[in-house]
Chain A
Amino acid sequence: MTTDTDTASVPSPAPSGFDNDNRQAATIGDSARDYVNRLRGGDMGSLPAILGLVFLFVVFASLNDRFLTTYNMANLVIQAGSIIVLAMGIVFVLLIGEIDLSAGVAGGASATIIALMLIDYDWTWWAATLAGVAVGAVIGLAIGSLVAFLGIPSFVVTLAFFLALQAVPLKLIGSGGSLRFNDEVLRGLSIKNVPVTAGWIAAILIVVGFAALSLWRYRSLSAKGLVHKPLGLVVIQIAVLAVIVLGITALLSANRAPNPDLFTIAGIPWVAPVVIALLLFWTYILTKTRFGRHLYAVGGNAEAARRAGINVRRVRIMAFVICSSMAAISGLLAASYTGKVSPGSGGGNELLYAVGAAVIGGTSLFGGRGRALDAVVGGLVIATIPNGLGLLNQASYINFLVTGGVLLLAASVDAISRRRRSSAGV
């Protein structure tokens, strides 16, 4: 509380009741002004990520004409999948003001278990996946308990897990070896596509569902005279979503094979529906459940949350469990993309990419701010960098330099906007 000084202006009292509660009947103009005010106050949301994405697309498209081909765009979606899912998990620990440095290797360890179950024990894909996610959950439970009960800084606990968990694949696979990952369904997540018709049906269902929910929400809020967005804004949001979803579907439904006469590659890669399902699920949890609300409360002011009767320890532990479980799914997607699990899986850049993705997307490193959607937007930005640079045949050191620079830039934006928020009090 740095802002509540005596100098803070006191709005002049209105004649009665909530007469000056004018947000109920906001117009599009009001909303636009509001948005600009929020931006100036430092509440940037996903705007830096979207601008960054546009910038990267313009640069890469002008440097290489293969970048904007639908073949490469589909590749980008597949490459972004595992980063996005890991970032979505990271969002949960960032929300409560903690960090998980071990998420990448937790994903690698879980992927190793999945591969072993598939190969050595002949488990079906879903049983093996469940086993992998369970391994992730147990790792998260251990980290969360150490942080919540012993009060060790999460930075240290997860650093220890980052080191220790690398032993798991190394022991199970053996150094230098690797496990093939060619299960029909799990490998298919990356190399197969949703049938074109089914893709269109799903896309239309998403748009119609979003439109119906938004309009229903608008009606029920405005009927009761509660704070709501203006109808114009609701319509614009629906239109934007429709353009994005249907546009991407159209793009990916075209035949994108390098030799279109010889064979056909068309449809949305299976990774995309997985990411979208996770996005919808976690968005619901974060915005519509008590647990989600408590996550934000713990990140905003843990003491206030405790006094409000929230079990802060349980919320903390759950955040780590969710993060590591998502890391397991991310490890699975990464293995599905490369077709193998090796001892080094998840020990490289994965974690930093994911943290970068979450922060670029608008999730704060300081806790209390973030959405599942941030991971998707930020993950696309992060995935675009190696994708575009790869097409340019640049030496890999440039890739490291650029990604590090982008992460630093995102963290700076976060820190500066936080300062502005606390001085503007938005």
Chain B
Amino acid sequence: MKISKFNIALVGLGLVAPLVLYPVFLMKVLCFALFASAFNLLLGFVGLLSFGHAVFLGTGGYITGYLMMNTGITPELGILAGTAAAAILGAVYGKLAVKREGIYFAMVTLALAQLMFFVYLQAPFTGGEDGLQGVPRGELFGFIDLSDNMNMYYFVFAIFLAGFWLINRTVHSPFGQVLKAIRENEARATSLGYNVNDYKWVAFVISAALAGMAGSTKTLVFQLASLTDVHWHMSGEVVLMTLLGGMGTIFGPFVGAATIVSIQNFLSGGELGNYIHIIMGIIFIVCVLAFRSGIVGEIQKVIKRNFS
């Protein structure tokens, strides 16, 4: 990513945001934005719809949560461990999933995620239905107290920027160009001599690792790792965020995540909380029928039409 004025302005906005808005809300947005961006690397840039990405979010969360509660490691190592665990799971699941294409890919990833859901439900270290509660945030590098929300926010912001940067680098690298070639015409990419499945697999592992990093961070923020994060609802939610924001765009997942998290926050307070899944479903249907480019995609179209 080139360092443009636009990007500097965005980072500046991120730095001052917690002075205006509630930091925990912002951290939630950043975690989900990273999760959705990681997911978008697969859906938007390789054309692979993973319907089980929650499993990586949840795995990162459980591993980080367990380590923070039971060993004395510092939070940055906890997050690294969670990310690594998600990457390993992603490596195994990716190998299996890339054997099938299109709709089958979605079903395979969903089924594999459900497999881990039941494992986490029964495994002794996850706390079953209760999950891991009261996960300590710890002290970053051993001396920065993360129980302070402002410290925690800037830590989360740094993680988000790192993840976001990595996704950008991947998309704009020669490797990313091959991914896009696979998305556009897989047979052609194969005939040009690329081992398509290996490319898909590497993209899958990167995506899984970053989704895990988002989950690890989220666990520290909310001091909780639970089955909600591995449930298929969560997998559906990240699809929705990406679709709503604009799949295949760099900023789309961020915009989608911010929108969905805001809607959820808004609804959960009032009487409309019961309707949350219905509203999510309706947004899904409307997006697919009338709004397939998503918010960022539509804005880009308008800019293209009027300014170039």
Q: Do A and B come from one complex?
A: no
Identify the B interface with A (CB < 8 A). none
